[in-house]
């Protein structure tokens, strides 16, 4: 099996070449030119070149009877060189017709001349290069949303074109009167305007008309009802005015209204689309596949189709896909995702495994004991769903504003109509004034107030490595008064780090050269703490014990205390994480490790305390350890030794006390609590399922993003409120003018663009100031 | 004022050309990969021979 060759293949790639193992760029003595390439290479290793079986072949779509096309999500692309590498690798095959990688959506599309099975072989080439490929799956919701986005963009283009040309004509109309320009010319201008405006209203207005119609059919009203009414009535009124050789037409107002509102609508769709995209990418990772051993070979089977009694092969570095028992092999298992425990557990034949844990050191075969829907993992997922249903639905600020705005506008405009009729005016004049009220009550500023701020805020956060996964997360996080932190992986980095011991520099060099071959967390930590050239070695890995190598005829061992013959020594400390290095049975050096706090954790906690935010530490780990961390950081409320359910209950209790809770966590055991909290964050090192639950995902080794997000959220929330206030202030000034019939088309146009510009400019203040 | 009979259609046509050009770029997928496009110009021309 390909997995047996791990140590061979890794042995040759630590040779001191001067080229990046991944992209072939020059690198300064290191294996990789950048961390991205190293990560990509590692991801490839994890796949361990399992035969890309018929999954890819079955995904191929025939174009005609001889050519096929395949679309796959590529995981592990980090730099532009990756795009080129993949495209060129595929194009080098004579039968490949086209190959293109979309960096934005991380999708690879290629077509070839031949059978579907050929596509699987081509996909295999990409996997060998070091990328993981996923089935993009059916995502009809995503496709529809993307279509809507395109439709909106087209509608904006048409409305923009029309608005520009109408303005050209309107300025002519405004700057002269019927007497100076001639009545015939004025009518001509009116009719040309109608010619441009009417098709535009019909085409670009559809998003609003459709939504308004749907709302009316359900006997509701929404923001789109007054907008549609205003646009349609303004157009009809203007046609009748033009027909009656009237003085004013409002075509430009109607079209400009559409133009501004469409921009707001588009920005909104984009923000939602971004959030949805990142969510669906996480989902596609989750719906992975497992390697099943059957009588006639090895097959990749989707995890959800696993049944009790199946025999699975789990490569080193792969997640264990199902609850079961080990039938063959010996390895170390990383349970941190379930229990929060940092040290891996040793597992041999007969040990039971849990779905979602990570197989670290050696390939194993396991017999599935529970179908995937009964596994502990699924249990947690179910718990999460219950928690999500329990969490009250948040009503967005914009929706609350709209629910106030709509009746007020309708009543005002109806009152205007009735008032003018009662005054004894003809119905045309009354209607005209009623329509101006509808146009001028500033749906533009309202429609732009939230989306512009949101787009700017999420762009700013993204630059700092913070990803918003739900559109209203920013609004919800602004009101947070209580933060609950998980310990491992959230306040700490979640990985052990070299923290002293007793060793010489050359010991570290030797140990790091050995450790680079292992995926054990302590080995990884050792390698990371050493940045110089490595020695090329032939390594054997002994699961649960350590590594061994022969150097200059001497037997070198790196591993546990007992493996290196220090069992009897008196400097025994069971709680410590350590590695020993021995030569021919004599122990030479000791390396000590600890799970370090995030470097800025204390500063961030302090800053939050200053802001009077209540901070809790909620850990699944032992009380002693939790207390020590809390003491270092100055957190007073500590709850330890909690189960996932208890964590979830704790959050619910806090919420019942009337607090707005932000939960920050990374483990699988945190997922239900994340779902229960008002708003949730997780680091990007978290398990997929946890990232998927969290509203916000942040990258990096710092805790600062939590504070940053809160600050940006506060700022953007106050900007949104200011924008609403500006819109209201403007209305107080403009509505009386409209009600009493003083608004000419020119005033309407100036007021509309003026208010929209003010709102947009105000939103841009978010870009200014600190960071 | 007869000049308007030429100028207005010309203005409209020019605008329409721009609109059609934009719709064409949209349709041909030029906005689908805004992150990848700026990197692609840095690549040498691929020669598959």
Structure tokens at A155: 């509608």
pLDDT confidence band for A227 (50 / 70 / 90)? confident
DSSP state for residue A287 in the 8-state scheme: S
Of the candidate ranges A149-158, A332-341, A679-688, the one whose mean pLDDT is the lowest = A332-341
Structure tokens at A526: 């050792």
DSSP state for residue A669 in the 8-state scheme: G
Q: What's the pLDDT tens digit per position in A161-216?
A: 999 999 888 888 888 877 787 888 888 889 999 999 999 999 999 988 998 898 88
**Is A555 an interface residue toward B (CB < 8 Å)?**
no
Residue A424: what pLDDT? Answer: 85
**A636 has a pLDDT exceeding 60:** yes
Structure tokens at A464: 């700092």
Structure tokens at A251: 């075509």
Task: Report CA torsion sign: A249, A253, A256, A262.
Answer: negative
Q: What is the DSSP code string of A297-345?
A: EEEEEEGGG--TT-EEEE-TTSBP-S-EEEEE--EEEE-HHHH---SPE
Q: Once rounded to an integer, what is the mean pLDDT over residues A255-266? A: 88
Q: Which of B1, B36, B42 sits opposite A185 (nearest CB)?
A: B1
**Is A180 an interface residue toward B (CB < 8 Å)?**
no
Of the candidate ranges A135-144, A305-314, A549-558, the one whose mean pLDDT is the lowest = A135-144
Q: Which helix (H) or strand (E) holds A239?
A: helix A224-243
Structure tokens at A673: 């609590």
Residue B24: what pLDDT? Answer: 93
Cα separation of A32 and A662, whole Å? 38
Cα separation of A697 and A513, whole Å? 34
Structure tokens at A67: 């050519």
The tokens 């906005």 sit on which residue? B31
Residue closest to A402 by CA, chosen among A443, A440, A453, A441? A443
pLDDT confidence band for A8 (50 / 70 / 90)? very low
Structure tokens at A283: 């989902």
Q: What's the pLDDT tens digit per position in A586-634?
A: 777 888 887 778 888 888 998 888 888 899 998 877 787 788 888 888 8
- Range among A482-486, A597-601, A729-733 rated most confident: A482-486
**Is A91 an interface residue toward B (CB < 8 Å)?**
yes
3-class DSSP string for A251-275: HHHHHHHHHHHHHHHHHHHHHHHHH
**Is A176 an interface residue toward B (CB < 8 Å)?**
no
Q: In what order do the strands lie in the sheet with A297-302?
A: A297-302, A289-294, A311-314, A364-368, A324-328, A352-353
- Do A220 and A403 meet the contact criterion of CB atoms below 8 Å apart? no
Q: Once rounded to an integer, what is the mean pLDDT over residues B27-40? A: 79
- Do A669 and A407 meet the contact criterion of CB atoms below 8 Å apart? no
Residue closest to A86 by CA, chosen among A45, A54, A95, A96? A96
Nearest CA in chain B to A79: B39
**Is A85 an interface residue toward B (CB < 8 Å)?**
no
pLDDT confidence band for A5 (50 / 70 / 90)? very low
Mean pLDDT of chain A: 78
Q: Which of A80, A158, A168 sits opposite B42 (nearest CB)?
A: A80
**Is B10 an interface residue toward A (CB < 8 Å)?**
no
Nearest CA in chain A to B40: A80
Task: Measure A157 CA to nearest chain B CA, in Å.
Answer: 7
Q: Is A158's CB within 8 Å of B16's CB?
A: no
Q: Which of B4, B22, B33 sits opposite A104 (nearest CB)?
A: B33
- Do A74 and A86 meet the contact criterion of CB atoms below 8 Å apart? yes
**A380 has a pLDDT exceeding 70:** no
- Do A677 and A483 meet the contact criterion of CB atoms below 8 Å apart? no
pLDDT confidence band for A17 (50 / 70 / 90)? very low
The tokens 């205003």 sit on which residue? A230
Task: Measure A148 CA to nearest chain B CA, in Å.
Answer: 13
**A287 has a pLDDT exceeding 70:** no
- Please, what is the end-to-end C-alpha distance for chain A in angstroms? 52
Cα separation of A478 and A31, whole Å? 44
Q: What is the DSSP code string of A545-564?
A: TEEEEEETTEEEEEE-TTTT
Task: Measure A185 CA to nearest chain B CA, in Å.
Answer: 8
pLDDT confidence band for B44 (50 / 70 / 90)? low
Q: What is the DSSP code string of A609-650?
A: HHTT-EEEEE-SS-HHHHHHHHHHHT--EEE-S--HHHHHHH
Residue A569: what pLDDT? Answer: 55
Q: Is A103's CB within 8 Å of B16's CB?
A: no
**Is B48 an interface residue toward A (CB < 8 Å)?**
yes
Question: A758: Cβ–Cβ under 8 A, 6 or more apart, which residues?
Answer: A445, A726, A730
Q: Which percentage of chain A shows pLDDT scores above 90?
A: 6
Count the neighbouring beta carbons within 10 Å of the beta carbon of residue A427: 11
Q: Is B36's CB within 8 Å of A101's CB?
A: yes
| Chain B residues lying within 8 Å of A153, measured CB to CB | 26, 31
Task: Measure A153 CA to nearest chain B CA, in Å.
Answer: 9
Q: Which of A84, A91, A182 sits opposite B1 (nearest CB)?
A: A182
Residue A16: what pLDDT? Answer: 38
Q: Once rounded to an integer, what is the mean pLDDT over residues A394-403? A: 73
Backbone angles phi, psi at A625, to 5 degrees: -65, -45
Residue A329: what pLDDT? Answer: 82
Task: Report CA torsion sign: A100, A102, A103, A106.
Answer: negative
Which segments of A614-744 does DSSP mark as H helices, in order? 623-633, 644-656, 671-676, 688-693, 704-739
**A301 has a pLDDT exceeding 50:** yes
Nearest CA in chain B to A180: B1
Q: Which of A83, A84, A104 sits opposite B34 (nearest CB)?
A: A104
Nearest CA in chain A to B30: A102
| Chain A residues lying within 8 Å of B43, measured CB to CB | 80, 84
pLDDT confidence band for B13 (50 / 70 / 90)? very high
Q: In what order do the strands lie in the sheet with A554-559?
A: A492-502, A586-597, A577-583, A554-559, A546-551, A539-542
Global ipTM: 0.84
Of the candidate ranges A43-52, A385-394, A669-678, the one whose mean pLDDT is the lowest = A43-52
Of the candidate ranges A308-312, A338-342, A498-502, A572-576, the one whose mean pLDDT is the lowest = A572-576
Is residue A486 part of the annotated active site? The answer reads yes
Q: How far is CA A250 from the centre of its chain?
A: 44
Give me the residues paired with residue A347 across strands.
Answer: A331
**Is B9 an interface residue toward A (CB < 8 Å)?**
no
| Chain A residues lying within 8 Å of B17, measured CB to CB | none
Q: Is B46's CB within 8 Å of A88's CB?
A: yes
- Do A439 and A751 meet the contact criterion of CB atoms below 8 Å apart? no
Question: A127: Cβ–Cβ under 8 A, 6 or more apart, which residues?
Answer: A44, A47, A49, A52, A133
Nearest CA in chain B to A151: B26
Residue A197: what pLDDT? Answer: 93
Task: Report CA torsion sign: A701, A707, A709, A712.
Answer: negative
- Do A680 and A694 meet the contact criterion of CB atoms below 8 Å apart? yes
Cα separation of A607 and A716, whole Å? 20
Residue A141: what pLDDT? Answer: 62
Q: Is A91's CB within 8 Å of B11's CB?
A: no
pLDDT confidence band for A48 (50 / 70 / 90)? very low
**A288 has a pLDDT exceeding 70:** no
Task: Measure B32 CA to nearest chain A CA, in Å.
Answer: 8
| Chain B residues lying within 8 Å of A203, measured CB to CB | none
Cα separation of A739 and A737, whole Å? 6
| Chain A residues lying within 8 Å of B33, measured CB to CB | 102-105
| Chain A residues lying within 8 Å of B31, measured CB to CB | 153
Q: How far is CA A110 from the centre of its chain?
A: 26
Cα separation of A40 and A34, whole Å? 10
Paired sense of beta strands A614-618 and A482-485, if any: parallel
Paired sense of beta strands A696-698 and A679-683, if any: parallel
Residue A160: what pLDDT? Answer: 93
Q: Which helix (H) or strand (E) holds B18?
A: helix B3-27
pLDDT confidence band for A7 (50 / 70 / 90)? very low
| Chain A residues lying within 8 Å of B4, measured CB to CB | 185, 188
Cα separation of A492 and A525, whole Å? 14
Of the candidate ranges A453-467, A479-493, A513-527, the one whose mean pLDDT is the lowest = A513-527
Q: Is B39's CB within 8 Å of A103's CB?
A: yes
**Is A169 an interface residue toward B (CB < 8 Å)?**
yes
| Chain A residues lying within 8 Å of B22, measured CB to CB | 157
Nearest CA in chain A to B13: A165
Q: Once rounded to an integer, what is the mean pLDDT over residues A402-430? A: 86
Cα separation of A357 and A338, whole Å? 7
Paired sense of beta strands A637-639 and A614-618, if any: parallel
pLDDT confidence band for A102 (50 / 70 / 90)? confident
3-state class (DSSP) for residue A181: helix
Q: Is B39's CB within 8 Å of A91's CB?
A: no
Q: Which helix (H) or strand (E) holds A485?
A: strand A482-485
Residue A30: what pLDDT? Answer: 55
Residue B46: what pLDDT? Answer: 53
Q: Which of A334, A486, A670, A695 is catalytic?
A: A486
Q: What is the DSSP code string of A193-207?
A: HHHHHHHHHHHHTHH
């Amino acid at each position: 099996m390909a997995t047996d060759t791990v140590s061979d293949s890794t042995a040759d790639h630590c040779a001191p070449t001067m080229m990046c193992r991944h992209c072939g760029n020059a690198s300064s003595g290191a294996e990789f030119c950048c961390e991205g390439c190293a990560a990509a290479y590692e991801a490839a290793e994890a796949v361990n070149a399992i035969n890309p079986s018929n999954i890819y072949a079955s995904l191929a779509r025939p174009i005609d009877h001889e050519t096929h096309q395949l679309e796959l999500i590529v995981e592990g692309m980090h730099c532009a060189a990756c795009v080129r590498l993949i495209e060129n690798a595929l194009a080098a095959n004579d039968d490949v017709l086209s190959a293109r990688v979309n960096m934005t959506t991380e999708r690879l599309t290629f077509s070839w001349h031949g059978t579907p099975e050929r596509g699987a072989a081509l996909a295999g080439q990409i996997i060998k290069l070091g990328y993981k490929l996923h089935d993009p799956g059916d995502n009809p919701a995503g496709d529809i949303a993307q279509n809507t986005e395109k439709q909106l963009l087209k509608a904006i283009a048409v409305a923009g074109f029309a608005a520009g040309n109408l303005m050209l004509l309107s300025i002519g109309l405004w700057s002269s009167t019927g007497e100076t320009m001639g009545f015939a010319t004025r009518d001509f201008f009116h009719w040309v305007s109608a010619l441009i405006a009417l098709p535009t209203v019909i085409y670009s207005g559809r998003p609003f008309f459709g939504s308004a119609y749907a709302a009316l059919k359900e006997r509701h009203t929404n923001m789109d009802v007054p907008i549609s009414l205003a646009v349609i009535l303004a157009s009809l009124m203007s046609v009748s005015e033009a027909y009656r050789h009237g003085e004013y037409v409002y075509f430009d107002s109607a079209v400009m209204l559409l133009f501004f509102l469409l921009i707001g609508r588009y920005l909104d769709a984009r923000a939602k689309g971004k959030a949805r995209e990142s969510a669906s990418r996480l989902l596609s990772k989750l719906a992975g596949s497992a390697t099943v051993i059957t009588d006639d070979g090895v097959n990749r089977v989707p995890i959800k189709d696993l049944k009790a009694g199946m025999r699975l092969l789990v490569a080193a570095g792969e997640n264990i896909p199902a609850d079961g028992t080990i039938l063959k092999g010996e390895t170390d298992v990383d349970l941190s995702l379930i229990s929060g425990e940092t040290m891996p557990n040793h597992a041999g034949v007969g040990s039971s495994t849990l779905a979602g844990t990570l197989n670290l050191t050696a390939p194993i075969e396991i017999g599935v004991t529970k179908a995937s829907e009964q596994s502990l993992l699924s249990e947690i997922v179910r718990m999460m769903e219950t928690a999500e249903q329990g969490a009250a639905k948040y009503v967005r600020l914009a929706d609350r504003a709209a629910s106030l705005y709509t009746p007020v506008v309708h009543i005002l405009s109806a009152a205007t109509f009735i008032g003018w009729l009662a005054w004894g005016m003809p119905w045309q004049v009354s209607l005209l004034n009623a329509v101006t009220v509808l146009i001028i009550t500033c749906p533009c500023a309202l429609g732009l107030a939230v989306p512009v701020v949101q787009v700017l805020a999420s762009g700013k956060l993204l630059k700092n490595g913070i990803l918003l996964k739900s559109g209203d997360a920013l609004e919800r996080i602004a009101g947070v008064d209580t933060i609950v932190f998980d310990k491992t992986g959230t306040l700490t980095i979640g990985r052990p780090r070299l923290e002293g011991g007793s060793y010489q520099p050359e010991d570290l060099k030797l140990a790091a050269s050995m450790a680079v071959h292992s995926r054990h967390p302590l080995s990884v930590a050792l390698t990371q703490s050493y940045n110089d050239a490595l020695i090329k070695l032939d390594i054997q890995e002994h699961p649960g014990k350590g590594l061994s190598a022969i150097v200059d005829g001497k037997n070198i061992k790196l591993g546990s205390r007992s493996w290196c013959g220090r069992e009897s020594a008196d400097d025994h400390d069971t709680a410590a994480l350590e590695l020993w290095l021995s030569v021919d049975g004599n122990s030479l050096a000791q390396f000590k490790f600890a799970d370090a706090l995030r470097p800025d954790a204390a500063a961030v906690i302090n800053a939050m305390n200053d802001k009077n935010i209540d901070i809790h530490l909620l850990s699944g780990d032992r009380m002693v350890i939790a207390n020590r961390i809390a003491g270092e950081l100055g957190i007073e409320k500590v709850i330890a030794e909690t189960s996932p359910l208890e964590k979830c209950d704790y959050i619910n209790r806090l919420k019942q006390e009337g607090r707005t809770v932000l939960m920050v966590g990374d483990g699988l055991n945190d997922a239900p609590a994340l779902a229960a909290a008002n708003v949730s964050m997780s680091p990007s090192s978290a398990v997929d399922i946890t990232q998927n639950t969290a509203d916000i995902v942040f990258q990096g080794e710092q805790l600062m993003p939590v504070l940053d997000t809160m600050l940006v959220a506060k700022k953007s929330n106050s900007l949104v409120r200011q924008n609403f206030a500006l819109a209201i202030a403007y209305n107080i000034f403009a509505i009386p003018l409209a009600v009493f019939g003083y608004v000419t088309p020119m005033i309407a146009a100036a007021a509309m663009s003026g208010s929209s510009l003010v709102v947009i400019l105000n939103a841009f203040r978010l870009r200014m100031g600190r960071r | 004022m007869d000049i308007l009979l030429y100028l207005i259609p010309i203005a409209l046509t020019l605008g329409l050309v721009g609109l059609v050009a934009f719709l064409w770029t949209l349709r041909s997928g030029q906005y689908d990969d805004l992150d990848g496009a700026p990197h692609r110009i840095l690549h040498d021309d691929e020669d598959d021979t």
